[in-house]
Chains A and B, each alone.
Chain A
Amino acid sequence: METKMINLKINGIPVTVPEGTTILQAARQAHIEIPTLCYLKDVSNVGSCRMCVVETTGARGLVAACVYPVAEGMEVRTNTEKCRQSRKMTLELILSKHKKKCLSCERNHNCELQKLSLGYSVDEDRFKGEDYVLPIDTSTPYVVRDNDKCINCMRCVEACNKQSIHAIGPIQRGFYVHIGSAFDRPLAESPCVGCGQCVVACPVGALSERSDIDKVWAAISDPSKKVVFFTAPSVRATLGEAFDLPVGTNVEGKMIAAIRRLGPDAVFNMDVTADLTIMEEASELINRIRTNKIMPMFTSCCPAWIKFVEQSYPEMIPHLSTCKSPQQMFGALLKSYWCEKNGVEPKSRFVVSVIPCTSKKYECSREEMKNDVDVAITTRELARMIKTAGIKFTELPDEEFDNPFAAASGAGTIFGATGGVMEAALRTAAHMLDGDFEVLDFFAVRGSSPVKEATYLVAGHTIRVAAISGLANARKVIEQICNGKNKYDFIEVMACPGGCVNGGGQPTLSDSIRNTVELKEARAKALYASDDRSDLRRSSDSPVMDVIYDDYFGFPNSHKAHEILHTAYWAHKKI
């Protein structure tokens, strides 16, 4: 059926849009941006903040453009005195309860409330009233909530609901309304898995990662510490955004140069342990296929996904690959192989991983892997360190990772996007099963769609795969498997929609960009372009893998590999 088109005028400019479009969306066609706070594309559309109010024919009062659908012949005005006064009043009322500690706020200069307040010339002290002071929640190792900065826009709640976790919600009403977990318990006692989608959704400084920057500076200044950085695949595709480069710019060379100038002893490439993960995981998959062991097998790179399974579907634990994630493998590899090779005392080594993720902070604090990685910092934290150090990022030369963990395959790089781990695993697994299998591009599992399926025939084995991103989608698939309706042999799950490129630790972009640019696609494109340019496409072809296995582990899934590179999971108490 053809979509009916609607003609309307916005500020006198004629616009034609499909029926059902909101005024907010239609205004973009007229190159007009209506201010928003609670609206966020793909995440939140609750119409609660009243920032986007506009005047229109057919309505007596002001209407919320983010939820008001267009109608034939409608004439909308977005910038009248009435609109501006209303928005200003809304901002001043929000500010009457907002903790205005802007100078030290990590969202200073990158805050939607600040930007609008300046634009509308508000008086932040116009309404002086009672303060409603709430405790800062620092109960988890990954996210900090300061509700005194919260503007109750509901974006975090919507982001959490979209993930089907429902860890947080609005509590009480009126003046006392605030966002929190059931029974006002700390976040650590909620079903939160740490994906951090709430953090990147927050328009202000109410949510942030638990900052570990000070620990890193302290280690760098400590001469007895050997500080080693390694960076996750997706960080190179997003770090540039923090320095005003266009979304999707691959800044690998500048990122390495910048980290080197922070003063660590080495900068390594986490893509190397992405390759190592593939060696172990592909071997595990083949072993499971050949011995008819518990199928389907799930990937285990994403700690938020692991926590989700452990607390909501413990019966699925045997389906998880026992491979540690690339972050934890790197930490373990540095502690064992690298320390032994270089005569470094494991105790003096200080390992910093740079990750696009908040949940990785939780992962490296897990009891069973506690000493693998000392500190995990997000892309945002790295950007802040670079700025503090006075490094002119965009003027830096392109540099290369340090040996021996520099060279990695393009398969390792695409780990950062949904479907990337699956494709990387297929490249190696297919080759392990059939030495003549030369296919390197598995297009069916690419792209940002939340569930991608494909079936491949390799050496007489039919392998049915799925790549899933977003925990709500993972929940649907897992429910099917629990009900005995499994369609797959191998499933990749990434907790964040779009995978790590859209992780909870990635740069927080302004709404102007987030509401117009397809972030997930643009960032992933940078990784696939890098893979495409690479001479090395298959993890098993990496010379670094040869060295690591010849020198140390022997072969994938060997006893030693199991001891160092694999882990175990257990059921968490349901909260």
Chain B
Amino acid sequence: MAQNTKFCGSAEQMAKLHAIIEEYRSVPGCLMHILQEAQAIFGYLPIEVQTVIADGLGLSLSDVYGVVTFYSQFSLQPKGKNRISVCLGTACYVKGSEKILNEVEKELSIKCGECTEDGLFSIDSCRCVGACGLAPVMMINEDVYGKLTPDMVKGILERYRKEEETKE
């Protein structure tokens, strides 16, 4: 999956990354740990970050990218200010949560796993948030929305957009 947003890591974040690499570079098998730490710093692992890690450890970018794409815990896309998570667990799925996910994707013009260009929203799917009684369920940040129908999606997203506008 190609990276579609501009990297905006700060000098401070980069310094932290370099410190982590320096600390662990001599430990055998340190790549996984460094990737986890890097994702904690930047929220995701863009090419700029992976290049620094590859150079720091004397690995090729292709080796690092192979590991990053192998594990689902790593993300190549930044997360939005508002993280949408649509439950695709069994109960939600049979209650039509796929349609909810499709609607969210359509509304934001991005795919699951991606982030909008303005950085306001990102979409992920998850497996059960423990609210099966409310299926189909979607979470935005810590807010839970249950008993959803596709036509409710637009209004919910609008709330977060408005919230952002009032902040500005």
Residues of A within 8 A of B50 (CB): 182
Is A5 located at the chain interface by the 8 A CB criterion? Answer: no
Chain B residue with the shortest CB-CB distance to A184: B2
* From B3, B47, B62, B70, contact of A168 by CB (8 A): B62
A172, B60: Cβ atoms under 8 Å? Answer: no
User: In whole angstroms, how far apart are the Cα atoms of A190 and B118 in the complex?
Assistant: 30
Which applies to chain A's interface (DSSP): helix, strand, loop or mixed?
Answer: loop
CB within 8 Å of A: which B32-77 residues: 47, 50, 59-66, 69-70
Residues of B within 8 A of A170 (CB): 66, 70
* From A172, A173, A190, contact of B62 by CB (8 A): A190
* From A166, A171, A173, A184, contact of B60 by CB (8 A): A166
B2, A173: Cβ atoms under 8 Å? Answer: no
A182, B70: Cβ atoms under 8 Å? Answer: no
Per-position contact with B for A148-185: 1 when CB-CB < 8 Å, else 0?
A: 00000000000000000111111111000000011110
Least Cβ–Cβ distance between A210 and chain B, in angstroms: 21
A183, B66: Cβ atoms under 8 Å? Answer: no
Residues of B within 8 A of A173 (CB): 69-70
Residues of A within 8 A of B3 (CB): 183
User: In whole angstroms, how far apart are the Cα atoms of A560 and B99 in the complex?
Assistant: 73
Per-position contact with A for B1-44: 1 when CB-CB < 8 Å, else 0?
A: 11100000000000000000000000000000000000000000
User: In whole angstroms, how far apart are the Cα atoms of A158 and B2 in the complex?
Assistant: 25
Is A191 located at the chain interface by the 8 A CB criterion? Answer: yes
Least Cβ–Cβ distance between A571 and chain B, in angstroms: 17
User: In whole angstroms, how far apart are the Cα atoms of A191 and B60 in the complex?
Assistant: 9
Chain A residue with the shortest CB-CB distance to B59: A166
Least Cβ–Cβ distance between B101 and chain A, in angstroms: 19
B2, A182: Cβ atoms under 8 Å? Answer: no
User: In whole angstroms, how far apart are the Cα atoms of A168 and B69 in the complex?
Assistant: 14
User: In whole angstroms, how far apart are the Cα atoms of A168 and B70 in the complex?
Assistant: 15
Contacts A166-B60, A166-B63, A168-B62; is A183 near B70 (CB within 8 Å)?
no
Least Cβ–Cβ distance between B14 and chain A, in angstroms: 19
Per-position contact with A for B79-97: 1 when CB-CB < 8 Å, else 0?
A: 0000000000000000000
User: In whole angstroms, how far apart are the Cα atoms of A165 and B63 in the complex?
Assistant: 11
Residues of B within 8 A of A181 (CB): 62
Least Cβ–Cβ distance between B163 and chain A, in angstroms: 34
User: In whole angstroms, how far apart are the Cα atoms of A170 and B61 in the complex?
Assistant: 12
Residues of A within 8 A of B61 (CB): 182-183, 575
B70, A166: Cβ atoms under 8 Å? Answer: no
Contacts A171-B69, A173-B70; is A166 near B62 (CB within 8 Å)?
yes
Chain A residue with the shortest CB-CB distance to B70: A173
Residues of B within 8 A of A183 (CB): 2-3, 47, 61, 65
Residue with the highest number of chain A CB atoms closer than 10 Å, among B1, B59, B61:
B61
Per-position contact with A for B120-164: 1 when CB-CB < 8 Å, else 0?
A: 000000000000000000000000000000000000000000000
Least Cβ–Cβ distance between B68 and chain A, in angstroms: 9
User: In whole angstroms, how far apart are the Cα atoms of A103 and B59 in the complex?
Assistant: 40
Contacts A183-B3, A184-B2; is A169 near B70 (CB within 8 Å)?
no
Per-position contact with B for A515-542: 1 when CB-CB < 8 Å, else 0?
A: 0000000000000000000000000000
* From B1, B47, B66, contact of A169 by CB (8 A): B66
User: In whole angstroms, how far apart are the Cα atoms of A49 and B65 in the complex?
Assistant: 23
Residues of B within 8 A of A172 (CB): 69-70
Least Cβ–Cβ distance between B123 and chain A, in angstroms: 19
Residues of A within 8 A of B1 (CB): 184
A169, B62: Cβ atoms under 8 Å? Answer: yes
Per-position contact with B for A45-81: 1 when CB-CB < 8 Å, else 0?
A: 0000000000000000000000000000000000000
B65, A171: Cβ atoms under 8 Å? Answer: yes
Chain B residue with the shortest CB-CB distance to A160: B62
Least Cβ–Cβ distance between A387 and chain B, in angstroms: 36
User: In whole angstroms, how far apart are the Cα atoms of A402 and B140 in the complex?
Assistant: 77
Residues of B within 8 A of A190 (CB): 62
User: In whole angstroms, how far apart are the Cα atoms of A575 and B50 in the complex?
Assistant: 13
Residues of A within 8 A of B69 (CB): 171-173
User: In whole angstroms, how far apart are the Cα atoms of A302 and B47 in the complex?
Assistant: 32
Residues of B within 8 A of A182 (CB): 47, 50, 60-62, 64-65
Residues of A within 8 A of B66 (CB): 169-171
Chain A residue with the shortest CB-CB distance to B66: A169
User: In whole angstroms, how far apart are the Cα atoms of A184 and B70 in the complex?
Assistant: 13
CB within 8 Å of B: which A182-237 residues: 182-184, 190-191
Least Cβ–Cβ distance between A23 and chain B, in angstroms: 29
User: In whole angstroms, how far apart are the Cα atoms of A173 and B67 in the complex?
Assistant: 10
Least Cβ–Cβ distance between A19 and chain B, in angstroms: 27
Per-position contact with B for A320-361: 1 when CB-CB < 8 Å, else 0?
A: 000000000000000000000000000000000000000000
* From B2, B62, B64, B70, contact of A167 by CB (8 A): B62
A169, B2: Cβ atoms under 8 Å? Answer: no
Chain A residue with the shortest CB-CB distance to B54: A182
* From A169, A191, A575, contact of B65 by CB (8 A): A169
User: In whole angstroms, how far apart are the Cα atoms of A184 and B47 in the complex?
Assistant: 11
Residues of B within 8 A of A171 (CB): 65-66, 69
Residues of A within 8 A of B59 (CB): 166
User: In whole angstroms, how far apart are the Cα atoms of A181 and B64 in the complex?
Assistant: 11
Residues of B within 8 A of A191 (CB): 60
Residues of B within 8 A of A167 (CB): 60, 62
Chain A residue with the shortest CB-CB distance to B67: A169
Chain B residue with the shortest CB-CB distance to A180: B62
Chain B residue with the shortest CB-CB distance to A178: B69
Residues of B within 8 A of A165 (CB): 60
Least Cβ–Cβ distance between B155 and chain A, in angstroms: 35
Closest 10 CB pairs of A and B: A166-B60, A182-B61, A182-B65, A169-B62, A169-B66, A182-B62, A172-B69, A173-B70, A171-B69, A166-B62
- Where the two chains meet, the residues of A that have a C-beta atom closer than 8 Å to any C-beta of B are 165-173, 181-184, 190-191, 575
29 A-B residue pairs with Cβ-Cβ distance under 8 Å, sorted by A, are A165-B60, A166-B60, A166-B62, A166-B63, A167-B60, A168-B62, A169-B62, A169-B63, A170-B66, A171-B65, A171-B66, A171-B69, A172-B69, A172-B70, A173-B69, A173-B70, A181-B62, A182-B47, A182-B50, A182-B62, A182-B64, A183-B3, A183-B47, A183-B61, A183-B65, A184-B1, A190-B62, A191-B60, A575-B61
- Where the two chains meet, the residues of B that have a C-beta atom closer than 8 Å to any C-beta of A are 1-3, 47, 50, 59-66, 69-70
